[in-house]
Amino acid sequence: MLDTILSFIYGLDPWLVLGLLAMMPFVEARGSIVYGIATGLEPLQVFMVSVALNILVLIPLLFFLRQKFIMDIIHKIMGRKITRLVEKNRKKFEVYEELALFSFVAVPFVGTGAWTGALLSTVLELNQKKSFLVIAAGVLAAGIIMFLGTNGFLHILM
C-alpha cells in the first residue's frame, strides 16, 4: 500500500506535491519546505511558494471555522473542560493574545501551525483580522526557521 502511494506521489510534478503539502494540516509550509529543498527544487522559490500557500489557506479556513455549526462541533469535541479552562485564563491570555498566538504558530513543531492556530483563534473567539495577520506572521517565521535549518543541514550533508 505504501509503495503504491509513494509511486503515485513520485509520479506527480514536484511543485504540485509541494503545493499540496503546504496547504495540508500538520505538514504545512514546514514540511513542504523540507520536501522541496530535499527534492532539489530552487530553495528560495520553495520557501516563497510554501509560505504563500500556507497563508492563503488561512482565508477559507478562518471563515469556515467561524460558522455556527462548525463552532458547535468544535465546542462539543473540546468539551466543557476546555471551555472552562479558556474562560478561567481569558484575562491573562487577552494581555498577550497576539504574542501567544504568534509564538504558538512560529514554533516549527508538528501540530503548531496555521491550521491549529486558526482553530485556537476560533475557540478563543479572537478578532478574525488580527488572527489572520498574527498567524500569517507566525507561518512566515516558522518558514524562515525551516528554510535556514534545512539549507544548513543539507549543506552539511553534501
Concatenated DSSP letters for 125-152?
A: T--HHHHHHHHHHHHHHHHHHHHHHHHH
- Residues of the chain under the 50 pLDDT cut: none
- Name the residue type at position 149: G
Query: Taking Cα atoms as reference points, which of 157, 91, 127, 117 lies closest to residue 26?
Result: 117
| Residue 108 DSSP one-character state | -
pLDDT 10s digits, 75-86: 777 766 666 766
**pTM of structure:** 0.83
At which residue does the C-alpha cell 472552562 appear? 84
- The total domain count for the chain is 1
Instruction: Report the alpha-carbon distance of residue 136 to residue 117 in Å, rounded.
Output: 10
Is residue 56 a contact partner of residue 38, using CB atoms and an 8 Å limit?
no
Residues contacting residue 90 through CB under 8 Å, at least 6 positions apart: 124
* Whole-angstrom distance, CA of residue 72 vs CA of residue 67: 9
Q: 43 is in which domain, residue-wise?
A: 2-157
**Tens digits of residue pLDDT in 91-119:** 766 678 889 899 999 998 888 899 989 98
